[in-house]
Structure 1
Amino acid sequence: MRMERVPFRQIGLATVAIVLAACGQKQSAPPPQIPEVGVVAVQPTAVPVVTELPGRTNAFLVAQVRARVDGIVLRREFIEGSNVKAGERLYKIDPAPYVATLNNARASLAKARANLVTQNALVARYKVLVSASAVSKQDYDNAVAAQGQAEADVDAGKAAVDAAQINLNYTDVISPVTGKVGISQVTPGAYVQASQATLMSTVQQMDPMYVDLNQSSLDGLKLRREIEEGRLKTSGPGAAKVTLILEDGSTYAEQGKLQFTDVTVDQTTGSVTIRTLFPNPNRVLLPGMFVRARIDEGTNDTAFLVPQVGVLHDQKGQASVLIVDKDNKVVSRPVVTARAQGQNWIVNSGLNPGDRVIVQGVEKVHAGATVKPVAAQLPPPPGAASRPSASPASAATAAPTAAAH
């Protein structure tokens, strides 16, 4: 088979053409794309500091109805679960033995009084006779002593009558307070004993109601420090307003007040008890309900609200944010956070007015990278329409977004 010979010059030209074509392809490749990140331009703003804490409801007054004398329960005189007034009779204990004791005490008192009359007359007679030396001084002294003993017997008789009357009164078991009476723990015919302090029922006053909240001692320490350093302005002791969230997520209609904070930290939980007081005219709150309360602690006038997605934490818990500088370079900035407020962190230090904090695309960039900042489009917080405490956060997010345009 005959093969044609290709001139060497043509082969060289073809090779040069291929190389030039490859070079042209490399030169026409697009440059690397600058990542786009969503930023929020933060500004200091007055932030209402709202703390949400768990707790349980407790009756304002709790009175345990117990037997104060021994005896048989003759009858129960209330309907379980009904409202009773202070002093209203709840049970009747058999009074017969106590009536007898009272009558015996009254008889003993009458006897003592009669004896006193005799002793008074004897002393008066001996007083005249002793001056005439008709009786001895010893006889007169004995008469005076007997008179004193008779007076003491009268006093003892009066006390015995009072004690017997008190025990008789205790056969009427009355309600110590006004409130709602619970389940009866005894039935007619049951034998109750004062020595055993038999529990018969419980009466609870439920308007108003206590709500006892649990706050970690660390959070309480941070709050007091912010107040001392002037970052948090309050309306004064006891002026904090409290809103209650019920078990079904609804907001309780009545507003409560802060009563006091316990002075002892629970060693098992590391928390302290905060007691609040709520009106309960419609008896919506029942003792033992689990609730959550939002306490308006005060206002932080120099705080920055930063969406939580833009705040990073290292293994030691140190918070930081990524900021876009004037050259569109990413800078890592450590910050000090106070607490969460809705979907935001309250940042006390580390930021300057106008700083552009990256809140979208954080995972795509690193410190020193060049980025293309755009105004972040953050979703509204869940339940924003029904939760006024979330409005400052959303407002702080929207304002910098508008400014960025």
Structure 2
Amino acid sequence: MSALSRRIALSMFLAGLAGLSPALAQQQAEAPPPTVTVVTLHVEDVPVTTTLPGRVTASAEAEVRPQVNGIVTERLFDEGRRVKVGDPLFRIDKTTYEAAVAQAEAAVAQARAQADNARREAERAGALRDRRVASESTSDTAIAARDAAEAAVKVAEAQLQTARIELDRTTIRAELDGEIGLAQVSQGALVTAGQATPLAVIRALDPVHVDVTQSAAEVVRWRRDMAAVQEAEIERPGQQVTLRLADGTEYGIAGTLTAAEPFVNETTGVITLRLSFPNPESILLPGMYVQAVVQQRTAHNAILAPQEGVSRDRRGQPIALVVNAQNQVEQRDLTILQDHGNSWIVTKGLSDGDRLIVEGVQKIGPGMPVVPEERQAAGTQPAAPAGQQAQDQAQPAAGAEGDEPAPDQSAPAQPAGEAPAPGAAPDGPQGGQDQPAPAGEQTTEPKASNG
């Protein structure tokens, strides 16, 4: 193509654009206001909570250790099952201890015989002294021997009791009601008194404890806030606490804040709080990571704003867009206390009855007119407003006027949710060239793509 032909074609194209510009401007001016989804806000009293991480611990724990030396001959419990105080757990070879008991019994019998003989000797010495046949010194010696023999009887009896205790300790029994874990020794193992490794561990799991920590500054603030509203102090027993498990679900039984350490850790500056939770089904296990949600106070006349309706400006300050009585967009600066589920607790910037924009904020700005549409409950499909339908119908017309498809290109993609009428034929060249629809003329059926 010659340079002259290219200049003529360019001039004709620019002239066509100039002719279309007034039509496009008129169409944009006549476009209806955009539709936005809003949520009507209401003032309410909202509990202010804090989430504290922690781990579950057993309310009581007992390590099973032997108190005598010997070979384990038998394990008497099922691992992982519940045991009660006094239930036998292990049995140690008791042959040596039975012999020790027999020896102690013989020693007691010997001591008692010697004591009886000493008593008779003391009685005879006393009678001879009274008749002045024996000296006073002989009588005193006999009395002392009698007393020593009686004391020896007590020593022998104590040794017999010790031997019997050690014999009884060859059967290791549970000292706590709870769930017993895995056995750490097997039959035939040698165990010793006071060894470092426990034979098993018993844990009381109903209730369980959750120990959490919080900074001393936060605890002081809690106390001041609660004193201002005449509530109980943070460590007062009986305060209800909820628990969030590691998978994000909430534990179904509320617990209580039972105690707080009466001192601040000098290294970390925190206070340890102890929570107690009933655990009848043993869902909470020692070592499990959880989050305790503790109520600090109640925010009065606050507003719960959905998080999708709140954003931040360049300074990081929270802002929101609302629809005023004239259906125009207003921007509000917010004061946020904290999050509450999927919402923010807003104390300043929003009022009762405000319509917060939660969808469609990308196409609007402050001062623009909009068509508000209340957000429907889940599962419902609201009908599109008349203004939105008119806007959707105007968009294909604008494309027909301003965009001229090339001969080798396919037609625009089918709008979502619309299907071509049965029997609609694909676009084809007419006279070797596609002709755009005249300005303002709307086709009745969308054309299918050549692809």
TM-score, length of structure 1 as denominator length: 0.67
| Aligned pairs (5 A) from 1:99-138 | 99-138=98-137
Residues 78-100 of structure 1: per-residue CA shift (max 9 Å, x gap) = 33233333212221111111111
Bigger RCO of structures 1 and 2 (CA < 8 A, at least 6 apart):
1
Report if the CA contact (8 A) 2:52-2:214 is conserved: no
Alignment partner, residue 160 of structure 2: 161
| CA distance in structure 2 between the aligned counterparts of 1:353 and 1:93, rounded to whole angstroms | 75
Kindly provide the amino acid, as one letter, of the partner of residue 83 in structure 2.
V
Q: Secondary structure at the match of 2:98?
A: helix
Q: 1:285 deviation in Å?
A: 3.6
| Aligned pairs (5 A) from 1:135-146 | 135-146=134-145
- Indicate the larger mover: 116-125 or 302-311: 302-311
* Equivalent residue for 2:208, pick from 203, 207, 210: 210
Q: Secondary structure at the match of 2:46?
A: strand
Alignment partner, residue 257 of structure 1: 255
Residues 318-364 of structure 1: per-residue CA shift (max 9 Å, x gap) = 76778899998967656362x31112232456776667777778899
Q: Which runs of 5+ in 1 are unaligned?
A: 1-27, 382-405
| CA distance in structure 2 between the aligned counterparts of 1:379 and 1:291, rounded to whole angstroms | 35
Report if the CA contact (8 A) 1:240-1:297 is conserved: no
| CA distance in structure 2 between the aligned counterparts of 1:152 and 1:262, rounded to whole angstroms | 53
Residues 211-256 of structure 1: per-residue CA shift (max 9 Å, x gap) = 5153542654544333122187899741415355463x4444x413
Alignment partner, residue 86 of structure 2: 87
Q: Secondary structure at the match of 1:154?
A: helix
| Aligned pairs (5 A) from 1:291-302 | 291-295=290-294, 299-302=298-301
| CA distance in structure 2 between the aligned counterparts of 1:56 and 1:131, rounded to whole angstroms | 81
Q: 1:205 deviation in Å?
A: 3.2
- Identity over aligned residues, as a percent? 31
| Aligned pairs (5 A) from 1:6-405 | 43-206=42-205, 208-212=206-210, 214=212, 216-217=214-215, 220-230=219-229, 237-245=237-245, 247=247, 249-252=248-251, 254-263=252-261, 267=267, 272-281=272-281, 283-295=282-294, 299-308=298-307, 335=335, 337=337, 339-348=338-347, 370=367
Kindly provide the amino acid, as one letter, of the partner of residue 212 in structure 1.
V
Q: Secondary structure at the match of 1:305?
A: strand
Q: 1:237 to 1:95 in 2, by over 3 A?
A: closer
- Indicate the larger mover: 139-148 or 44-53: 44-53
Q: 1:127 deviation in Å?
A: 3.0
Q: 1:192 deviation in Å?
A: 0.6
Residues 146-166 of structure 1: per-residue CA shift (max 9 Å, x gap) = 232222212211211111111
Q: In proportion to residue count, which structure has more strand?
A: 1
| CA distance in structure 1 between the aligned counterparts of 2:213 and 2:371, rounded to whole angstroms | 40
Task: Please tell me the root mean square deviation across aligned C-alpha atoms, in Å.
Answer: 4.5
Kindly provide the amino acid, as one letter, of the partner of residue 112 in structure 2.
R
Number of aligned pairs?
351
Report if the CA contact (8 A) 1:231-1:302 is conserved: no
Report if the CA contact (8 A) 2:39-2:375 is conserved: no
Report if the CA contact (8 A) 2:207-2:280 is conserved: yes
Report if the CA contact (8 A) 1:233-1:298 is conserved: no
Q: 1:128 deviation in Å?
A: 3.4
| CA distance in structure 2 between the aligned counterparts of 1:320 and 1:335, rounded to whole angstroms | 9
Q: Secondary structure at the match of 1:114?
A: helix
